[in-house]
Amino acid sequence: MNLSQNDWTSQLKDDNNAIILDVRTQEEWSEGIIPGAILNDIYKGQGFIYRLEELDKTKNYYVYCKAGGRSAQACSVMNQMGFENTYNLEGGFMNWQGDVAFTEEN
């Protein structure tokens, strides 16, 4: 499901079962992240799938990338794999108005 920046943020804030998933590259990750996000680079192909298989499908996943395209694709893949609740951040990180964290870890 695609959510606007405001809807994504407000829904996430009230969600006790939320996981934030960043599907950008490591280089993009190092430029700043939405606090609490975990990295799973969609460009890793099968590696991306393997990491998805390790995740708890009962959680609610708030997914973002730079502009919203890769994260929409990631949500589609996740839905096909049995993830019921995936939320794509429309406009992605480049339009993000919330807090930003900087980390070298993923």
Whole-structure pTM value: 0.95
Distance CA 102, CA 7 (A): 24
Per the CB < 8 A criterion, the answer to whether 57 and 84 are in contact is yes
Distance CA 21, CA 24 (A): 9
Catalytic annotation present for 75: no
Domains and CATH numbers, the chain: 2-95 (3.40.250.10)
Task: Measure Cα distances from 58 to 16, 55, 65, 67 in Å.
Answer: 12, 9, 22, 26
State the catalytic residue, choosing from 65, 72, 75, 89.
65
Q: What is the pLDDT along the chain (106 residues), one digit of tens a residue?
A: 999 999 999 999 999 999 999 999 999 999 999 999 999 999 999 999 999 999 999 999 999 999 999 999 999 999 999 999 999 999 999 999 999 999 755 4
β-pairing, 85-89 vs 60-64, is parallel
